[in-house]
Amino acid sequence: MARPLLDSEFIYGLHDSGGEDLMRAARRPGWIVFSERIGHNPRDFGSRDYSQWSGDDFGVIVRLNNGYEPEGTIPAADQYQDFARRCGNFVRNSDGCHIWIIGNEMNFAAERPAPSSRRAMRPPRGVKRDSDEPDWTPRELPDRFSALQEGRRSRRTRGADRDPITPEMYVRCYRLCREAIHSQPGHEDDQVLVGPVAPWNNQTQYPGNEQGDWVTYFADILSALGAVQCDGFALHTYTHGSDAALVTSDATMEAPFEERHYQFRAYRDFMQAVPQSMRHLPAYITETGQIDEWEDVNAGWVQAAYQEIEDWNEQEGNQQIHALVLYRWSRHDKWYIDGKPNVIEDFKEALGKGYKWRVGAVKPVPPQLSEYKAVFVQGGGLHAAEAGQTLVTHFVVRNEGAKLWRKGGKNPVRLGTRWQNEAGQAVFVAPESDFRTALPSDVKTGETVTIDHVKVKIPLAEGNLRLTWDLVEEDVTWFADQGNTPFVETVNVTPSPEMQGFFEPATKKWVRGPFLDAYRLYGLDVTGYPLTDQYVDAASKLQTQYFQRVAMEEHSPGRIRFRLVGQEALLAQTEIDGLNADIARLTADIDQLHREIQALQEALKDAQQNKDDGGVPKPAIEDITDQLPRTAKDFKRRQADAIKYLVINHTGGPADLSIDKLAGYHRDRGYPGLAYHYVIDGDGKIMQTNPWTDTVSDQGYLGEGLNIAIAGKFDNEPPSDVQLQAAAQLCAWLLVELRLLPDAIKGVSEFVSTGSPGAQWLKGQRYKERLLALVEEVVEDATQPGTPTPAPTPDPAPTPDPEPPVDPGSAAELAALREKLQRRDAELAEAQTRLAAMESELAGRDTRLTELQRQITAQQTEIDRLRAALQQGGGDLSTPAPLSPPAIHDITDELVKHPTKKYATRKLDKITHICIHHSAAPATIPIQNVAEYHVNDRGWPGIGYHFYVKPDGATYQTNHMETVSYQVADNNHYTVGVCVAGDFTYQPPPATQVEAAARLVAWLMQELDIPEANIMGHKEYPKNDTSCPGETWLKNVTWKNTLLDKIRSVRSGLDGYTGKRIGHYVLFWQREDTWAQQDWRAAEAYFGRFRPTAGFSVDDAQTAEYVTIVGGDAGVSFEAERTLQTAGCKVERLAGKDFAETKKILDDLVASGRRFLTFPG
């Protein structure tokens, strides 16, 4: 009787029909795998009947391919929907099968879809194929297993120029196909399998998998799908030879894949990468063999392979492999078994063992729904557009998360977009063009919604841009930031007429028309980067644009002149001086108000404490801080006077939840311990759980609040009377101790979007109001008239208001003090509002003035240099020479590394930013200790920084720049980390350390072509809530400005750092009637990358530190080379056997980012 899935209980199988009689004769009806080319025409209803095999109790598996090389195993991304419909059509009309595979070896470049204009590859001569088979198969390409260290490479990598099938693209296609198949009558419970990934193939690389690891590719697909959206998966595995011992070999590959099996047990790498929640799903090895064609010997290889899978399945807890299918029976290619009696005999002997997979060996793990889980069922399709266009599309999205998507309210869920260029950098979109589309209604878990009229504005950029569609809970999070897979497509954006110009990525400004001509004519040395877009100046009525060093205006059509900005600077300085005077006066008034308020608060406290009962009594509090699990060193430290609020929380769970479990829950969330300072349990007992000076974060309400938690969840009911009374006693006492007013009592929800301290806090029964009333009662009860002591008298104000005398300690005194305090608070608030407005105005003017002053200084410096050069008879009027590298001690290989974890790597041209850190620890701590902390305590593969600068200026390299180390979360892939040793919370680094850091950073900027705007402190990067590199980086002394000023001096050569007058000179030959024209043209890319001084004079070259001679000694002679060496120059000659080879040497240097072959840098 046929099984419901038309599967087999045995693990034996053959690819292709024709050899099933072997299994039938052995009474082991195993598996038959078919491969079908179905195309992606949604109106094609072609099918095949597999009933003759499934009706005979054989398990049937059908692989659905869009086509064979070069059509792609799945089609291009814009055809996924059509392919899914074609899959549904095929399945609906095909009898005898309920197990389907979507695609084949998607990470293999030859399986990628090529543009329709390309012709299929021709088969090798003399090979005959059946009409329903491909002319040839990509498995014949040596680079199918591209990661093998055997030197077997194709002369031309087939498919390398096509768009890769990334995991997110495959997941999108698979989901559509699975849904289409399950929607067919009678196929609702079919198994739709993830296609097999090619082992040992590293051709598909993408962010997060830069090495193209095939197991990571497989794991990324499964992780994106999850157990609910996947029915199982197929695998491929092989040995490199016919020796049966290779089946159980544990040999591994060479670096960087030394953790991957080299032989048959490669299947175990895949199996061990399956997420725990998916290990109950079936696995099928649908291809196995010996890499090369079957050798017709009975060496026991087939028996060993089935024994290996049986041993795996037999181990308790192992995910079951349902099939091991031999590739292949029929004679369609050289890997056939038909007609090879010894291999057949080996198979027969294996059949005699009767191996079966085990039912229920692994129980399914109940799926844990993520809060933010969206599946994009349909939508997108924006493949080409013009910059600046606004397009409209629609999406169908299903809510598979645990959270309700609300259409409205404070934090509605909307559909939005994010753009990136081909380098993975964010593309700027103006806020007014960043459309967000609302949902038509609330969407519950499991519901599907159609979102119509979805607008998207194409940014003013060009090229193949990556468009990410994602849902966003406004003011809370993007779904992708919570682990959800967004919808991603590539849009070919062509420039629009309005944007013909140049977009400067350093400052995100456009330069167009005659301004662009001037920008290119004068260059960055004269103009600097653009600071504004082009606009019509209100005073001059002229088109105007400001740059870092100059301002330009179009005084007549198409004609640009520099604008005189000195007068602007002078007027701005005059206005700023006046504003500064006003601010000084206002600041003095505010200081006086602060003194008065402080004195009043002291008087209020003394009056309250001078009662017969001693003031507001401290309630009964049990300090259990030391009894709770906590990592004290990971808490942030603060002073008690930094506390501005009493922040009320609810625990969100049962009122009788134990404090230990609550602390454990906070630890699981990544906190160093319980985040609260006090907890009030269900019986009103008050427990102190942290010192006031400890906080889990120094940012926001956590940094400025004392957190009080009331046990329970208060969405429907408020806290009990006994809890509220305890909270009131605690808050009243804390207000007095911390000298705070009652308005300092706030709920968490008044700072951030959260449900704590419950819906009843501000709505419904509004228990905040009751708590404040109880606090007032506690204070009133504690401040009844008693024996007073005189209150301190505040310092006299410049124009004090007359105040009537009051009897200290009386109720009247307290009321008068409170009234006066409220008036002073109101005056202070008004003064601070005026100050903020003035400071805002000043900041804008001051920024502009600073820039103007910097321009003037730079221009004056250049004038002085040119004058000095002219007085010396002309001199060198060239730009400053290239920098030599500073003294760097490379200790990369000396520092501790994790025994198993490895950092990813990247190319140097991917680095666009430099991140500045401080170590936040004493500068005397050895670097080795920092590395050990990163590896042993934080579990990182190695130290996080690339460079480390000590107070004496000693500079160390701690990672190769190609290493993607952990140093600035979510931004590691494009940054280099420079750590300046020490803690700069209260004071900046010493001058020697800043100077050394500046020399290092200036050299890195030169070598990596990084603009000044991309030098940022750790805290300035997105998604990094940190104070690093110290509070003084951007505040008070702002050592960021000090560092940037020193970098500019180093780069301009004004500090004498470059040594010789010219850093790098490229020397060409010249005769009276001819010169090295071809060599010069060959070096154009080299000039653009490294910007050396170039010429034909040996005398000029002698003044350089480095000299590169282009061409052989028939041009620049060996005598000239020796002259340069005698003059102390470091000389390198680049000369190929002909012009083409010389050009290749120069181009290879450009591609590698290296200036020299034989010298560093």
Identify the three-state secondary structure at position 817.
Answer: helix
Q: What are the C-alpha distances in Å from 222 to residues 106, 257, 932?
A: 14, 21, 34
413-420 and 559-562: which strand pairing? unpaired
Among the residue ranges 58-67, 264-273, 456-465, 1053-1062, the one predicted with the least confidence is 1053-1062
Amino acid making up residue 477? T
Select the highest-mean-pLDDT range: 64-78, 344-358, 1125-1139.
Answer: 344-358
Among the residue ranges 225-229, 244-248, 278-282, 978-982, the one predicted with the least confidence is 225-229
Question: Do 108 and 164 touch, CB atoms closer than 8 A?
Answer: no
Identify the three-state secondary structure at position 535.
Answer: strand
Question: pLDDT at position 1056, please?
Answer: 44
Question: pLDDT at position 1001, please?
Answer: 95
Amino acid making up residue 848? R
Signed CA dihedral, 758, 764, 770, 772: sign only: positive
Question: pLDDT at position 126, please?
Answer: 33
Buried/exposed code over 629-660 (b: 16+ C-beta within 10 A; e: otherwise) = ebeeeebeeeeeeebebbbbbbbbeebebebe
Structure token pair of residue 1084: 């154009």
Identify the three-state secondary structure at position 654.
Answer: coil
Among the residue ranges 512-516, 614-618, 619-623, 706-710, the one predicted with the least confidence is 614-618
Question: pLDDT at position 978, please?
Answer: 97
Phi-psi sector, 700: left (phi>0), alpha (psi -120 to 50), beta? left
Single pTM value for the model: 0.43
Who wins on pLDDT, 630 or 836? Answer: 630
Question: pLDDT at position 852, please?
Answer: 47
Question: pLDDT at position 803, please?
Answer: 43
Cβ neighbours around 789 below 10 Å, total: 10
Q: What is the mean pLDDT of residues 347-353?
A: 96
If you write DSSP's letter for every residue of 1029-1063 in order, what string do you get? T-GGGTSTT-HHHHHHHHHHHHHHTTTSTT-SSEE
Q: Which domains does the chain have, with CATH numbers?
A: 12-351 (3.20.20.80), 374-499 (2.60.40.10), 502-563 (no CATH), 587-605+783-877 (no CATH), 621-762 (3.40.80.10), 888-1052 (3.40.80.10), 1062-1152 (3.40.50.12090)
Among the residue ranges 22-26, 228-232, 736-740, 984-988, the one predicted with the least confidence is 984-988
Q: What are the C-alpha distances in Å from 489 to residues 96, 223, 304, 418, 686?
A: 36, 20, 45, 11, 55
pLDDT bin (cut points 50, 70, 90) of residue 532 is confident
Phi-psi sector, 804: left (phi>0), alpha (psi -120 to 50), beta? beta
Q: What is the mean pLDDT of residues 51-69?
A: 95
Taking the C-alpha atoms of residue 601 and residue 595, their distance in angstroms, rounded to an integer, is: 10
In the chain, the N- to C-terminal Cα span, in Å, equals: 74
Structure token pair of residue 1107: 């000299």
Taking the C-alpha atoms of residue 76 and residue 381, their distance in angstroms, rounded to an integer, is: 11
Signed CA dihedral, 534, 535, 537, 543: sign only: positive
Question: pLDDT at position 653, please?
Answer: 86
Select the highest-mean-pLDDT range: 332-346, 506-520, 1001-1015.
Answer: 332-346
Instruction: Say if residue 1076's pLDDT is above 90.
Output: no
Question: pLDDT at position 1036, please?
Answer: 58
Q: What is the mean pLDDT of residues 852-861?
A: 50
Structure token pair of residue 318: 């192992």
Question: pLDDT at position 873, please?
Answer: 42
960-963: which pairs have CB atoms within 8 A and are 24 or more residues apart?
A: 960/892, 960/905, 961/908, 961/911, 961/1008, 962/905, 962/906, 962/907, 962/908, 963/903, 963/904, 963/905
**Closest to 424 measured CA to CA, from 731, 205, 173, 198:** 205
Question: pLDDT at position 1026, please?
Answer: 85
Instruction: Say if residue 924's pLDDT is above 90.
Output: no
Residue 970: CA count within 13 A, CB half-sphere: 11
Question: pLDDT at position 857, please?
Answer: 53
The phi, psi pair for 673, rounded to 5°, reads 180, -165
Residue 712: CA count within 13 A, CB half-sphere: 21
321-326 and 374-379: which strand pairing? unpaired
Which pLDDT tens digit goes with each residue over 684-702?
A: 999 999 999 899 887 788 8
Write the DSSP symbol of residue 138.
Answer: G
Q: What is the mean pLDDT of residues 305-315?
A: 96
Which pLDDT tens digit goes with each residue over 713-740?
A: 998 999 999 999 999 999 999 998 888 8
Taking the C-alpha atoms of residue 447 and residue 950, their distance in angstroms, rounded to an integer, is: 58
Identify the three-state secondary structure at position 1083.
Answer: coil
Among the residue ranges 480-484, 584-588, 775-779, 1127-1131, the one predicted with the least confidence is 584-588
Among the residue ranges 800-814, 968-982, 1036-1050, 1125-1139, the one predicted with the least confidence is 800-814
Amino acid making up residue 776? E
Taking the C-alpha atoms of residue 721 and residue 701, their distance in angstroms, rounded to an integer, is: 27
Among the residue ranges 44-48, 74-78, 153-157, the one predicted with the least confidence is 153-157
Cβ neighbours around 834 below 10 Å, total: 15
pLDDT bin (cut points 50, 70, 90) of residue 244 is very high
Among the residue ranges 493-497, 640-644, 971-975, the one predicted with the least confidence is 493-497
Taking the C-alpha atoms of residue 236 and residue 270, their distance in angstroms, rounded to an integer, is: 10
Mean pLDDT of the chain: 83
Question: Do 279 and 271 touch, CB atoms closer than 8 A?
Answer: no
Taking the C-alpha atoms of residue 888 and residue 885, their distance in angstroms, rounded to an integer, is: 8
Amino acid making up residue 144? R
